[in-house]
Chains A and B, each alone.
Chain A
Amino acid sequence: MAYTKRLNGRKNDETREIEAKVGVIKRADGSSYFKMGNTIAYAAVYGPRNLYPRFLQNPEKGILRCNYNMMPFSSSGERVRPGGSRRSKEISLVTGKALLPVLDLDEYPNSVVDVFIELPQTEAGSRCAGICAASMALADAGLLMKDLIAAVSVGKVDNQLLVDLDYSEEAYEDGDVADIPIAMMPNFEKITLIQMDGEMTKDELRKLIEMAKKACKNIYSIMNKALKEKYEVERE
């Protein structure tokens, strides 16, 4: 049986429902909430602040530290073992690398900007939701940024090219699955993160990147609205 129609009823280039909020954590310098279908990410930004131990300091510019964490009860199956894992360490690293190209930390030598991404509930696409949340929180913290970063996963499920795979699609067993998380600057159409799991042809990849561009622009407009809303509400 081929995968001709998405089980969740979405169109091939349609993302799950997105909800975004800014300023959800009062004590942080910047914070946000990003929900994509059943995946929820909170991000809190602290800093620029003092960085210790001293050998980590960079006298040329500030550094960015990211921390990605899935909460123990967040997964739909087994309990996630709390604390860092090989996987969370890698995702923390790539999240930082995805965000750094837009950030301008030249003004903050010897200091650090800390980003904490917490996921209370996940169902595929958690690193993309985390990146989106982190980029909103960084903007909320008033840091200089060339652009926001939007991220979405695209992929191939049994010869169908899809945007924003959910768990049932990622775990599809009757055919080949390839999953590509992409983060990009929506206004410049530049990719800051691309990873791939699976196999596909060059043409398919090109098509998927185009689909991701469109989805990222849509995500950008949602993030843009959320950031403005924080101040619009206060206008009342």
Chain B
Amino acid sequence: MVVSLVWLALLAAGLLWELYCNLVNGRWVSLTRVGAVIARNRAGRLLLVAAWAFAGWHLFARYTLPR
């Protein structure tokens, strides 16, 4: 239960931090900007698509409903 809450807190913190970094253009870097840097060449773009595809496959085609 505690670790589940830690996971949820991590996800929420990640989302809030991404929002903060996008709103405040300061010293911290958002994931969007990291993605833009990676996507500057074709190999980077394909790597991002592969990561996105893995997430989609894992979440929507291979999920297991808890008993």
Same complex origin of A and B: no
